[in-house]
Amino acid sequence: MSEPEQGNGTPRSGVDDGAHRRLAPRPLNRPPVDPGQQAVFGRPHGVSGAFSADRPGLNGHSPVQLAPPPPEALSTAFGRPRGDDSTLLQRPPVDLAGEPEVEPVFWEGRPAGDAWRDPGASAVIGPPAVTEQPEGPKPEPAPGPQLSVPELLFGRRVKPAGLALLLAAALLVGAVGGIVGWLLGRADNPLTDGGVTLAEVKPGKERPVGSVADIAKRVTPSVVSIEFKGANVAGVGSGVVIDGKGYVLTNDHVVAPAVQDTSAKLTVVFTDGKRAVAQVVGRDSKTDLAVVKVEVDNPTVLQFGDSDELAVGDTVLAIGSPLSLSNTVTEGIVSALHRPVTAAGENGGPQVTYDAIQTDAAINPGNSGGALVDSSGALVGINSSIRTETGGSVGLGFAINGNYARKVSQALIRDGQVKHADMNVNVRSASAETAEGAQVQNVPEGGAAAAAGIVEGDVITRVGDRVVRNAAELTVAVRDREIGETVPVVLARQGRELTVQVTLRSD
């Protein structure tokens, strides 16, 4: 098949006359070489390789000369004979007649004891400077005179009778000293009496029912220590067994570090030393309560009491693990009731607000989540926080109201979460010369407060039968109600007192 033609139909140059048309190779373009550069860098005429033996040296000098041969006298004195490559450079000495002098070697046909002295080496080593001693049994030194015991002790000879007398005297002195010491020990001393026997009361101390010891004995088996340990967190809190299936009630801030750190593990430690891994059932960060569950057989359960029946001055006991000291019991009284407590949430979480029982029973870090029991041993509160300026207990401890803790824990066990009643209103604490309460800052649309007609600027002073003195007290008063319940709310508006009916909704 012929190559297509171009333009006027004339075949392109370089094609052959065969059946296959091909392009001819492109002509080489070889520019002329400068004669001056060729003279400097070109290969000399008659040289076919890269180097030549007769090529003159660099820059036109003569070829490189090697070192001159050694003088004839040195070659004759120190060189090998001509034509003889087997003769060693080091030759044995010769005598006056020209015969080689060969001295007998010192090893006498045996291999040298020194590894460096090789009999087959070219160099000959002369005999050692010290002549070899003849071999044979060496005479053993005669034993010297042996010292006797008197010579060893006194450096001179002593008669055996004298040594025996000395030994008897030493025994006599020892016996006399022992007898004198025994007699002195038996002597009368006005400050001691060797035959004294102290009286002992056989019956144990009588502990009436309801005493602190009796309550502690019954309650402590149901109060546990909760340990959490991970790569970045570690600590100890307390908890209370509230159900026979292994449910333990504690504070949310006790389990929160273990929940936030996936490497952490929760462990419940009972009073008898038994340990069990705990799983978080549910948390309520708004009220600082949480429930965990452990797999144990027949745990001791602490029953709830009625915290609404408490009165200021009632005796209470705080039980927990303060400063990692498990099974610690402290006693105090109820210092105040319905004390609203507010604290910051864990790691930026929602603010914690709860209705607290104030007590002067010593509470320290580690008591959190432990039990506050009344004089009958019933659970009336969950120890949660303290107020202090020193970091330790100063008699201002707070426990979450037992009735409210029971309500929240039941919801957590049933559903894993809890919902609270809410007015859906933002307030701040306000006080005036004639009144104090929670002043409304914002009323979101669609909330319970907006539906009841509460507006910005109103000051809420009462919810139902509970007086409201600040924002925290409004929160706990509303949460104490049920979702969907309609409650009268007293508020002050432009100098007038109004009562509105608010139907509470879920938060």
| Angle, CA of 133, 123 and 88, to the nearest 5° | 155
In eight-state DSSP terms, residue 6 is B
| Angle, CA of 450, 448 and 403, to the nearest 5° | 145
- The encoded tokens of residue 87 equal 């003769």
Class of the domain covering 421-506: mainly beta
Average pLDDT over every residue of 293-310: 92
Average pLDDT over every residue of 340-350: 79
pLDDT at 232: 83
pLDDT at 195: 77
- The encoded tokens of residue 432 equal 């005036």
Least confident range from 94-98, 162-166, 441-445: namely: 94-98
Least confident range from 122-131, 200-209, 219-228, 459-468: namely: 122-131
- Could you give the CA distance from residue 406 to residue 221 in angstroms, rounded to a whole number? 20
- Could you give the CA distance from residue 104 to residue 97 in angstroms, rounded to a whole number? 20
pLDDT class of 81 with cuts at 50, 70, 90: confident
* Coil, strand or helix at 15: coil
- The encoded tokens of residue 176 equal 């006399």
Most confident of 89-93, 266-270, 388-392: 266-270
pLDDT class of 130 with cuts at 50, 70, 90: low
In the block, tokens 């401890």 appear at 397
Check: CB of residue 243 under 8 Å from CB of residue 232. Answer: no
Q: Taking 50 as the threshold, does the pLDDT of residue 285 lie above it? A: yes
Least confident range from 4-8, 85-89, 165-169, 453-457: namely: 4-8
- Could you give the CA distance from residue 343 to residue 282 in angstroms, rounded to a whole number? 20
Q: Taking 70 as the threshold, does the pLDDT of residue 63 lie above it? A: no
pLDDT class of 127 with cuts at 50, 70, 90: low
- Could you give the CA distance from residue 292 to residue 420 in angstroms, rounded to a whole number? 20
Which is more confidently placed, 500 or 158?
A: 500
Q: Taking 90 as the threshold, does the pLDDT of residue 181 lie above it? A: no
In the block, tokens 């460096």 appear at 116
φ and ψ of 451, to 5 deg: -65, -30
Cβ contacts of residue 54 below 8 Å, gap of 6+?
Answer: 63
Average pLDDT over every residue of 375-391: 90
pLDDT at 3: 44
Which is more confidently placed, 48 or 277?
A: 277
Average pLDDT over every residue of 368-392: 90
Least confident range from 61-70, 125-134, 173-182: namely: 125-134
pLDDT class of 395 with cuts at 50, 70, 90: confident
- Could you give the CA distance from residue 461 to residue 438 in angstroms, rounded to a whole number? 7
pLDDT at 321: 92
Residues 455-475: b if buried by 16+ CB within 10 A, e if exposed: eeebbbbbbbebebbbbbbbb
Boundaries of every domain in the chain: 210-418, 421-506
pLDDT at 8: 45
The pLDDT mean for the chain works out to 81
CATH number of 210-418: 2.40.10.120
pLDDT at 125: 53
Check: CB of residue 288 under 8 Å from CB of residue 343. Answer: yes
Q: Taking 70 as the threshold, does the pLDDT of residue 385 lie above it? A: yes
Which is more confidently placed, 295 or 162?
A: 295
pLDDT class of 159 with cuts at 50, 70, 90: low
- Could you give the CA distance from residue 423 to residue 442 in angstroms, rounded to a whole number? 12
Q: Give the residue numbers annotated as catalytic, written as ranges.
A: 253, 288, 368
Check: CB of residue 372 under 8 Å from CB of residue 224. Answer: no
The closest alpha carbon to 250, from 268, 271, 232, 264, belongs to 268
Q: Taking 80 as the threshold, does the pLDDT of residue 473 lie above it? A: yes
- Could you give the CA distance from residue 277 to residue 268 in angstroms, rounded to a whole number? 6
User: Could you tell me what percentage of the chain is helix, strand and coil, using 3-state DSSP and rounding each to the nearest 5?
Assistant: 20, 25, 55
Check: CB of residue 361 under 8 Å from CB of residue 349. Answer: no
